[in-house]
Structure formats: structure tokens, C-alpha cells
Structure 1
Amino acid sequence: MLNLDRLRTLYAVARHGSVSAAADGLHVTTSAVSQQLAKLERETGQQLLAKNGRGVRLTDAGRLLADHASRILSQVELAQADLEAQRGQAVGELVLGAFPTAARGLFPTALARLREEHPQLRAHLREMEPDESIPAVVRGDVDLAVVLDWYNKPLPVPDGLVKAPLLDDVADVAMPASHPLADRSVVDLEEFAGDEWVSWPKGEFCHDWLMLTLRGAGIEPRICHMAEEHHTQLALIAAGLGVAVAPRLGRGPIPSGVRVVPVRHTMRRHIYAAWRADADRRPSIRAAVEVLRATVVELGAAEEGEPGPS
């Protein structure tokens, strides 16, 4: 009989594209992956991997078995979901992915509540951007991801996933306290046409959104600095080095020397949870979504929040 763990290892190689990447995805060593695959080849009497330059590729037999493994593992997950649903309790392990400001702004409270309300559920947080977490959910490496898109730039969600809205997060413009617009109660993006901008790094979803939005406002952006963390962006602004878009969720205290001002035509991030449809019946998934929504209410939806101290 084929061993389920070895099938899972083969499927990981197929979806990640290499033994080392599969090892990272499975949180084991490359040696452990190689040993599992060697045992699987002995069990099947077939060569499943072949050398391909400095790496490996799946043979025809390997691809065939990996396709079966995908269906088998999906069926196993459905069985686990049904058993968990029959028991009616959130139990076992749940891996949660979230982008940084959600990880900071929602998850400390949500995870504490989840532990208190469901003591038999072991939840684990992985901080990752949406372009990492969505594929991780599809692969099965993450059970539920908290992701975002913007009011004018949707995030593509593959078939086979379910999503549920959590909140809309308002974004303001952050600027040095010495900026001519710093004392305004509301601003228009067009008023920053002559400013230098602090942005998220190139290639990130939010950087692409910023370019799209500024150009839509008739601004050809001059990006002078790029930083992934919002706290770093605000520190650069405090030093007088540019302006930035500053979402409210997880923003924390505003540094002295920085002012945040709402935009007349409100900019919003849509934040939602996403999980695999074949896990939809799992009480642990439902418990996590309920706790996240309760946390949004407890902390005060960012949509209704004040811009912050100035």
C-alpha cells in the first residue's frame, strides 16, 4: 500500500519544482525528502525522479503518481473536514497566513481569543504577503490566509477557494509635519504631484496599486525610497524624506514629526479571509473566521477609525 506521507512528499516536489523547495514547504530537511522519495520508488518499483541539470524533474511515472497524490490528499482533507464537522469542535492544528499589518493589527488579539475559546485547537501564524499566502492555501501549506486588495485593484483568487470579508481598511496620506498640507483636515492626491514618495518595494501588490492610483490621479510618481514595513516608511517621512500612503490597520502610534491626513476620495483596502473549498466544513476554519470578525469589532473597524494622533 502506498504511504500517504510519501505521496505528500512527491506532491510537494511536483508543486514546488525542486527537492529543496519541497523540503522548505514541508519544514523538513532535503535529506528527509530524498529518503521518502527513495522509499516511494522502492514501493512502486518505478523511477519517479530523474536528474535535470543540477536539479531533478519528475518522470512520466512521477507526474502520473503526483496527479493521483493531489486527488488523494484532497480526499483525505475532505475526510478530515467531515470528521471534524461531525465532532462539531475546532480541534487539531490550523496554519494561518497574514500580511504584516494584519499580523500586527489583528492577530495578537485574535489568536489569544482563539486559544481561549477553542483550547483544543493549535493555531500557528505565518506572516506572508498575499502573493505568497494565496498559493500556499492552494497548495495546502496554509489552511486560511488573511489577504487584501484595493478598491480599484482586485486580487485574483483562484478557483477552489472560498473567501469571506473581514473589514475595509481606510488609508491616509502621511507627510512630514513641515509639509504645506500637514494642517489640512482633508487632502486630494493631486495636491502631491510635486512630492517625492516612499513606497512598498517593486513587485509587491501594494506597490503596483500605488503606481496605478497615482497615475490615475495624473501624477507620475517620483519614488525616492522603498520599504516593506510601514514603521520604516513613517520613520523616513519623519526625517522629511517624502510622503506615503498609510493604511490604518496595524499602523500603531504616529511618530512625532509626521502628520496623517484623510483623502477626500477615500482609499480603502478590502481585507478578507480565504481558504480551500474542500475545507469549508471544518469547524476550525469557521472558528477562525468568527474570531477574526469579532476581533475587528472589538478593535474598532479601521473604516470608522480616526486617522491617528498628529
Structure 2
Amino acid sequence: MGDWDLRRLRVLRAVDECGTVTAAAERLHLSPSGVSQQISALARQVGAPMLEPYGRRVRLTPAARLVLRHAELVLGQLERAEAELAGYLHGEAGEVRVGAFATAIGGLLVPAVARLREAAPRLTVRVVEAEADETVRLLAAGDVDLGLSLAVGPVGRGPGIVETPLLSDPLDVALPPGHRLAASPGLRLADLAEEPWIYGAAGPWREITREACAQAGFVPERAHTAADWTAILAMVAAGLGVALVPRLALAGRRAPAVVRALPADLPTRRVVTAVRAGTERTPPLRRVLAELAVVASAVSAGGTVQHG
């Protein structure tokens, strides 16, 4: 029978619903002769009449009803595809897989997803927890579409990955209760040069801790190795050492240790977004990035991001 013309199928459906060629023409913004031509062309393609008189109206023949029954399925699916595509192009539908480290999930990604669930409920965000350095590997492998990572050194990891600064997360220092400097005014990071330190054995966080201490003029002596913030804060509270703790990790957490800001040193860690080059303008991805930027701005200002 050759290729099916969707216009003819839509015209057939309109005639069935309207009952007359004239009424169908008005609905479709065509002339009555234009509707008749489409129906005649469909009849020739099928090899059977499509319409028969029914009083002052017309009705579909059995052959036409068979065609329309299948056409409804096709047209309905295409209309759903058109609606979904329109949502995709406006960043309101689709799926974005995000790889992120734990504190970024709680402090940045969850609030952004909550906003998206209200503003764009057809846009699905799938979260994959991974260490900060692992997120970029997941991204390069195609396992996620967007990564939240930590910058160590200049932003940028090669031509295949596009990184953008998202948030400068302040680093506070955690001290054991009763520590001699716990209540010291004007506490400086250099004041802790002789303390035993707690931080990870590898990865961005080790480099961030060592870099912050290097800026203060010393190399931290690592007494204990840990990466989980609950474990680190528990060890600090027990008097096993001191640690730098990102403010995102402390959000909503009652720390068992004494936590002090370091305004004179202002150590920070840089949270970045990372995407594969060429995908950064994909509408759903742009929508997620925009919501993350809103949340990051609110966090930087010390406020609470609003939904909607």
C-alpha cells in the first residue's frame, strides 16, 4: 500500500468525529474540496471506499473503521511523542543522571531536585552517589550525564569534559571539646600546625586539606585516616585529632566536636559541575544546572532555598 500519509488519517478521524465533510473542513482549516481530495486519495491507497452517505451526513465504511482503529493508536502515540518532545525542548521532560559525592547530594542536589519536582514533574533526575573523583570517571564512561565534583588545581580535566565552578564551600576546623584553642579568639589555621590531623588517604579531600595547610605554612601530620564525616567528627570529639570540615558536611548536623570558622584564612573547597563536551546545551541538563545554580547561590548567601 505504500507509505501512510498522516494528514489523510487525521482528516479521516475529523470526518468521523464531525459527521460531515464541511464540519471537518472547518475544524482542520481546510476547504471542503481539500478534505474530499484527502479522503479520495486514502480510498485509492486502501483500495476501498472510506465514506458512505448516512442521511444528511456521512459515515465511515467498515474498511475505513478498520483503518481508523489502527490510525488512532499511531496518532495517539505520535501526539504523546510531540508533547514529550516539547517538554524536552523546554527542559520540562526527560531524564538526567547525576553522579555526586555525599555532601553535595544532601546540600545541593536534593534541594534542586525538590524544586524540579514541583516546577518540572516530568523531568526525572536519577542520583548516583560516588566519591568526588569518581564522578568524573562515571561521566566520561557515559554512566551519568552530570557530575558534581571537587576542583583540585585549575578547573578543567581535558577536552572531553566541561567543568564549571558551582560553589565555594568554606572549610571550618573541628576541635575536641576542651581543646586549648576551642575558645581562642582569632583562631588561625597555623595555630594548629603541631596538632595530629585526620583526613583521607587519597583523593581530592586529601589534596584540599594539604593545600589549605600549605597556604597556612605547614604540612599537616596525618594521625588517622578517614573519609566519612561521621567517623571524622567522632574521632575529633574523642580527642584523637583535629580536622578541616566543609560547611556543607555540617548542614543540619549536630557536631559532637567544637567547630570553629577560620575567617582570617578563609580556606574553601570548590564544588564544580562537570558534563561531557557537547552536551551542556541539552535542555534537561541545562534545567538541572540552572536549579543547582539557584541552590548554590542560596547556600553561599547563607539562606534557605525556596521551592517552586
Deviation (angstroms), 1:304: 5.0
2: distance between equivalents of 1:263 and 1:90? 41
2: distance between equivalents of 1:170 and 1:217? 15
2: distance between equivalents of 1:105 and 1:164? 18
| Deviation beyond 4 Å, 4+ runs, structure 1 | 83-86
Which sections of structure 2, spanning at least 5 residues, go unmatched?
A: 1-84, 304-308
2: distance between equivalents of 1:181 and 1:207? 24
Equivalent position to 1:90, from 92, 100, 112: 92
Deviation (angstroms), 1:120: 1.4
Number of residue pairs matched? 218
The CA RMSD measured in Å over matched residues stands at 2.3
1: distance between equivalents of 2:88 and 2:242? 53
Deviation (angstroms), 1:289: 0.8
1: distance between equivalents of 2:294 and 2:198? 33
Deviation (angstroms), 1:215: 4.1
2: distance between equivalents of 1:89 and 1:187? 47
Structure 2: which amino acid aligns with 1:272? V
Task: Return closer, same or farther for 1:100/1:191 CA change in 2, 3 Å cut-off.
Answer: same
TM-score by length of 2: 0.64
Equivalent position to 1:112, from 111, 114, 118: 114
Deviations 1:105-151 (A, max 9, x none): 1122111112222111111111112321112212211101111225x
Farther off after superposition, 216-225 or 123-132: 216-225
| Corresponding residue for residue 277 of structure 1 | 277
- 1:171–1:246: 8 Å Cα contact kept in structure 2? yes
Partner of 1:271: helix, strand, or coil? strand
Find out whether 1:167 has 2:174 as its counterpart: no
Deviation (angstroms), 1:277: 2.3
- 1:171–1:247: 8 Å Cα contact kept in structure 2? yes
| Corresponding residue for residue 71 of structure 1 | none
Task: Return closer, same or farther for 1:221/1:304 CA change in 2, 3 Å cut-off.
Answer: same
Task: Return closer, same or farther for 1:86/1:176 CA change in 2, 3 Å cut-off.
Answer: closer
Deviations 1:242-277 (A, max 9, x none): 100011013133424423232512111121211122
| Corresponding residue for residue 220 of structure 1 | 219
2: distance between equivalents of 1:208 and 1:86? 39
Percent of pairs with identical residues: 33
1: distance between equivalents of 2:291 and 2:237? 35
2: distance between equivalents of 1:106 and 1:86? 23
TM-score by length of 1: 0.64
- 1:105–1:251: 8 Å Cα contact kept in structure 2? no
| Corresponding residue for residue 206 of structure 1 | 205
Find out whether 1:180 has 2:197 as its counterpart: no
2: distance between equivalents of 1:212 and 1:297? 25
